[in-house]
Amino acid sequence: MVRTIYRAAQEGLTNVLRHSGATEVKLQLGGGASQIRLALEDNGAGFDVEELLHGALNPDLRGIGLRAMRDEVVLLGGEFQLTSSEDGTRLAITLPVTEDE
């Protein structure tokens, strides 16, 4: 679970730097005994979330990293939320804390 959060933050920040054109980014990490939350927001150009996550025709827009992140979060019993508009993008992940973490 910790590895998943780390990799999600890494992938999200990499995407902001490579693609968004953002001038601001906010990363929040929090949680408690039963869950951990990661939120990443930027003020970049945004994109079509449905196209990116569900198979864009353009190979450059396929969002393999974000799709893999979503699949891993869901596999671990977590929640994955991604919203984007011309005003920026927000990624939010919540994962349950397991006994062996």
User: Looking at residue 95, what is its pLDDT?
Assistant: 96
> Which stretch of 33-37, 42-46, 67-71, 86-90 has the lowest confidence by average pLDDT?
67-71
**By C-alpha distance, which of 60, 1, 53 is closest to 29?**
1
What is the percent of the chain with per-residue pLDDT over 90, rounded to a whole number?
A: 66
DSSP 44: S
What is the percent of the chain with per-residue pLDDT over 70, rounded to a whole number?
A: 89
CATH number for the domain running over 2-96: 3.30.565.10
Q: Choose between 66 and 44: higher pLDDT.
A: 44
Strand residue runs (E) in 8-76 = 25-31, 35-42
Is residue 70 within 8 Å of 88, Cβ to Cβ?
no
Is residue 26 within 8 Å of 90, Cβ to Cβ?
no
d(CA 67, CA 72): 9
